[in-house]
Amino acid sequence: MPAAIEVDGLVKRYGTLAAVDGIGFSVPPGTVFSFLGPNGAGKTTTTEILEGLRRRTEGQVTVLGLDPWADGTELHRRIGVIPQDFRFFEKITPKEAIVYYRALFGTNVDPNALLEQVELSDKANARYDTLSGGQKQKFGLALALTNDPEICFLDEPTTGLDPTARRAIWAVIRNLKREGRTVFLTTHYLEEAEMLADQVAIIHHGKIIAAGGPADIIRAHGKPARMTVEGSPALAAYLRMNLGASAVEEEGKVSVTLNDKGDALKILTAIEASGLPWTSFTTTHDTLEDVFVRLVGQMDEGALKTEGAP
C-alpha cells in the first residue's frame, strides 16, 4: 500500500533561516505517527506544509498521493485538521458548526453521532464562547471529522488541557486508529507519543534527530535499565567483585545496570547471598522523554551528528 504521507528533502526557509532543513519520513496508512520536538523546532511549519496551508521552499511532499500546496482543494476534502488552539465563531454551537461544514463538504454525517464520538454530546447546543479548553478541542476534533477524513492532523491537541480532558482526547485518537484512519500527531507531551504512536520522529532545529518506533528509539538512544536497592558501599563492592557488575553506591542507594532480562534475578540472588543488609528494590528504564531530553540536549551542545530518517 502506498504511504499516506511521504516527505523527502523538505526545506522551508524564511529569508536565510531554515525552519525546516531537509527532513524526510514516511507514514504508512492506518498508523499513528507522532512528530516531536521542542518549541520552535519546525513541527508546526512541517505540519502546515503537509496540510497545504504553507508553501514549501524545496523537497518532495505527497499526502494521499497529492501535492498539498498545488492540490490543496482536493486534499482538504480528504483530510481533517485540528490546529493548535482551535478557534471558531464565538456564538455558534458545535451542532450548528457541523451542519455548516456538512453543507460545505456535501456529506450527510449525523451531527449527534459525531458529537457522541468525540464525547461532546452534552454540549451540542452550547455556544463556542461558553466551552472549556478541552471542550473546544473536542469541538475542533468533531469538525475535523465532518468530511470522514482519511488522515487526521492533530497539532498539539492536548496542550493546556487538564488530565481528564487529555485522556478523553487520547481515547478519541485511539478510536480514529481503530477506524483505519491515519493520524499525524504533533505534541510535546512525550508520554502521549509513547502511548499512542506507532512511529515517532524527533525534530530539532529543523532536522530529524531520531526516528522509529518509540521502543526502538529508547533502545537505541536510552541508557540501559537499572536496578536500585537501598544498601551500603560494602554491598556495591560485593556485587562488583562477585558479578563483575557495574554497581555503584550513592547516598545509601546501590544501583546496578541491567544488560539482560535475566540480570535482575542474578543480582537479587547475589544480594541475598551476600548476607549484607538491604531493603526495597526498584527497576528503572529510560522513557521517551528521557531520550528526548538527552538527544535535544546533546544536539544543543553540538555533540550529536544529525542522522537521517529511516
Partner 1 sequence: MRMRNIAADFRIVARTYFRNPVALFFSLIFPIILISLFGLIFSGAGNVSTTLIVVNDDHNPGGGFTPVSVAFLQALNNTTVVKVQVVSVGAQNLSTYLGQNALSTGLVIPAGFQNDYLNHTPVNLTVYTNPEAAASSGAVLGALRGVVDGFNCGRSCVQTIGYTNHNVGSAVFTTIDYLIPGLIGFAILTSPMFSMVDIASSYRKDGIFRELSLTPLTRAEWLTSRVLWYVALTFVTAGIMIGAGIVLFGAHVLLTAGLIPFLVVGPFFFVSLGMLAGSVAKTPESAALIGNIITFPMMFLSGTFFQVSSMPPGLQAFARILPLYYVIDGMNQVMLFSNTSRALTDLLIVLIGSIVVFLLAIRLFKWRDE
Whose Cβ is closer to partner 1: residue 76's or residue 204's?
76
Q: How far is the CB of 236 from partner 1 (least distance, A)?
A: 57
What's phi and psi for 296, nearest 5 deg?
-65, -40
By C-alpha distance, which of 95, 118, 112, 111 is closest to 170? 118
Q: How far is the CB of 94 from partner 1 (least distance, A)?
A: 13
Kindly write out the interface string for residues 117-146 of this chain, putting x where it contacts partner 1 by CB under 8 A and - elsewhere. ----------x---------------x---
Contacts of 191 (CB under 8 A, 6+ apart): 287, 288, 289
Q: How far is the CB of 32 from partner 1 (least distance, A)?
A: 21
- Report the alpha-carbon distance of residue 251 to residue 249 in Å, rounded: 7
Q: Which of 90, 122, 251, 301 binds partner 1 (CB under 8 A)?
A: 90
Q: How far is the CB of 87 from partner 1 (least distance, A)?
A: 4
Q: How far is the CB of 48 from partner 1 (least distance, A)?
A: 8
101 binds partner 1 (CB under 8 A): yes
Q: Which of 28, 29, 72, 133 binds partner 1 (CB under 8 A)?
A: 72
Q: Which of 27, 63, 64, 81 binds partner 1 (CB under 8 A)?
A: 81
Q: Stretches 1-9, 104-112, 209-217, 246-254: which one binds partner 1 (CB under 8 A)?
A: 104-112
Whose Cβ is closer to partner 1: residue 102's or residue 166's?
102
53 binds partner 1 (CB under 8 A): yes
